Amino acid sequence: MWKVLFASAVFFNLSQAAPIDATVENFAIADHFQEIISVIPKDLIKNITYEHLKTDEAFKSAVQFMQTDEWNNRVKIIREKPEWIALKKYMTGFGIHIDKFIKCADGFLQNVTVKLDPMHPPSKKSVRAFLTDIERNLPIAKILSIIHEKMVKNSELQQLFEKMSSDDTRKMIDNVLALSEIRSMLKDLAEMDMDITEMLSLIYAFLGWGELKLQ
């Protein structure tokens, strides 16, 4: 789960267009998230990423796929869907700006150069080794400790999660997850060993929404 949950930190470190705190800069309780972000070893994650871009053919193949017209066109279609627009607008009310994360991801994917070794083609596109290295170098125990402390002691954060766990939020997320383009993207990511549905299932359970059902 943590491999997927913190993989996004890479994009915030590598994108020149946005700093690591871009998604929370306008958040009402940004300082609490800054403490979590501050313990992530940003330079180390950046070094791991570029090392995999040099030596990990499966990772390079996955990144290259996410630079293709096929991937970019699907992202464009999703961003124009009314369900996605409605969710973004709704989440902005909590101070969560989804577009800023997407800009960071795009900044990385579009600006990095990938050169595959023609003599050693990968058997598949995969980010497994990359995510394993990221997970191994994250202070997970410290991050969990900070999150636990804030969830127990901070009433403002507790109120935020209560609002976010509403039926309205779930319906909007369910509507987005029902999009065929989203389903295709989740399938592609799972085939590249990044199973986002695992993280989504944990989020659903954490927010009291029961079992995630993707048909």
Local confidence pLDDT in tens for the 215 residues of the chain: 444 444 444 444 444 333 333 344 444 445 566 777 788 888 888 899 999 999 999 999 999 999 999 999 999 999 999 999 999 988 887 777 788 778 878 888 888 889 888 888 888 999 999 999 988 888 888 888 887 787 777 777 777 778 888 899 999 999 999 999 999 999 999 999 998 888 888 888 888 898 888 75
Pairwise CA distance, residues 125 & 59, whole Å = 6
On whether residue 49 sits in a domain, the answer given is yes
On whether residue 181 sits in a domain, the answer given is no
Other residues' Cβ atoms within 10 Å of the Cβ of residue 61: 19
On whether residue 7 sits in a domain, the answer given is yes
Distances from the Cα of 191 to the Cαs of 96, 142, 186, in angstroms? 28, 31, 9
Contacts of 99 (CB under 8 A, 6+ apart): 88
On whether residue 120 sits in a domain, the answer given is yes
Q: Could you tell me the residue range of the domain that residue 116 belongs to? A: 2-154
User: What's the domain count of the chain?
Assistant: 1
On whether residue 31 sits in a domain, the answer given is yes
On whether residue 131 sits in a domain, the answer given is yes
Q: Does residue 11 contact residue 108 with C-beta atoms inside 8 Å?
A: yes
Tokens of residue 145, six digits:
């400790």
Contacts of 83 (CB under 8 A, 6+ apart): 172, 175, 176, 178, 179
pTM, to two decimals: 0.80
State the DSSP code for 13. Answer: H
Supply the DSSP string of 28-94, one letter for each residue: TTHHHHHHHHHTS-HHHHHHHHHHHHHH-HHHHHHHHHTTSHHHHHHHHHHHHSHHHHHHHHHHHTT
On whether residue 88 sits in a domain, the answer given is yes
On whether residue 195 sits in a domain, the answer given is no
